[in-house]
Amino acid sequence: MSQPLVPPPSAEVDRVLRAALQEDLGSAGDVTTRSLVPEDRLACATVLAEEPLVLAGLDLAVRAFTLLDPSARRVSGARDGEDAGVGQVVLQVEGQARALLSAERTALNLLGRLCGIATTTSRVVRRLAGSGSQIFDTRKTTPGLRHLEKYAVRCGGGHNHRLGLYDMALIKENHIAMVGGVGEAVRRVRAGLEQQVPVQVEVSDLGELDEALEAGADLILLDNFDLEMVENAVQRVGGDAVLEVSGGVSPEQAETLARRTGVPRISMGWLTRRAVWCDLSMDIVLAAEKG
């Protein structure tokens, strides 16, 4: 793992899951399950991978069940960040049959989305193995799901860029246009910061790169630089700042950049924007009735 798999904040997880469950249950609840399954019946739900994938969100899926049945418990399964093959059991949960059936779609939707991001990230990370370059995500996440999706990136071996507008100052082209230059923008942000956060600035050419270096930016984002410009920038900067490449980077381009230039960081909206949901299924077996 490139970063510790610290889970998303529990309050964020519960907020997302409660909204998703409410969306499914509405005001009437699960009318099908309530009509067919006695309230006291217990069952075991088994979640299987239907394609090769990297796991992310297993504990979060369990939480979907426990929100409807606090007595539900995970009895076996794999771990986030691990590879899973076709037909592999990735999770088993025991609890009230009604709760398992009613939370099934919420749990599988969450797993499908997060495993898709983790799997996409892992494929890119593996392409860059041994290059010295690291893969970072962006803020191009599903509104309301950022903590969860960035956790999935970590499960796939990637790194998180800033979580929001509060934990890093990132000066972009529209900011620069408002103050008249890269150097001036960096200096104003430095002077205006009320807390210690890294300062990164986006540059569009080598002249702006020199301005950013002179102004003392911590990180410099090379936006839509071609390969030759990135090579030049890496040689120019040395260790004076951390360089990051961004701007429509595909997995193939990321590998070329890493192998040819050794740029320390490559950020990719691809990890979340282009991730395809993974296919997982769930089978439920009722426990034997007592008596």
Q: Does 290 participate in catalysis according to the annotation?
A: no
Q: Does 105 participate in catalysis according to the annotation?
A: yes
Residue 161: C-alpha distances to residues 73, 125, 135, 176, 249 (Å): 34, 15, 9, 21, 15
Q: How far apart are CA 251 and CA 125, in angstroms?
A: 9
Q: Does 236 participate in catalysis according to the annotation?
A: no
Catalytic pick among 105, 190, 260, 274: 105
Q: Does 223 participate in catalysis according to the annotation?
A: yes
Catalytic pick among 140, 187, 188, 260: 140
Could you tell me if 54 and 83 are in contact, meaning their C-beta atoms sit under 8 angstroms apart?
A: yes
Q: Does 74 participate in catalysis according to the annotation?
A: no
Catalytic pick among 80, 202, 244, 255: 202
Could you tell me if 45 and 33 are in contact, meaning their C-beta atoms sit under 8 angstroms apart?
A: no
Q: How far apart are CA 8 and CA 144, in angstroms?
A: 13
Q: How far apart are CA 87 and CA 77, in angstroms?
A: 13
Catalytic pick among 12, 223, 231, 279: 223
Could you tell me if 257 and 263 are in contact, meaning their C-beta atoms sit under 8 angstroms apart?
A: yes
- Give the active site residues: 105, 140, 172, 202, 223
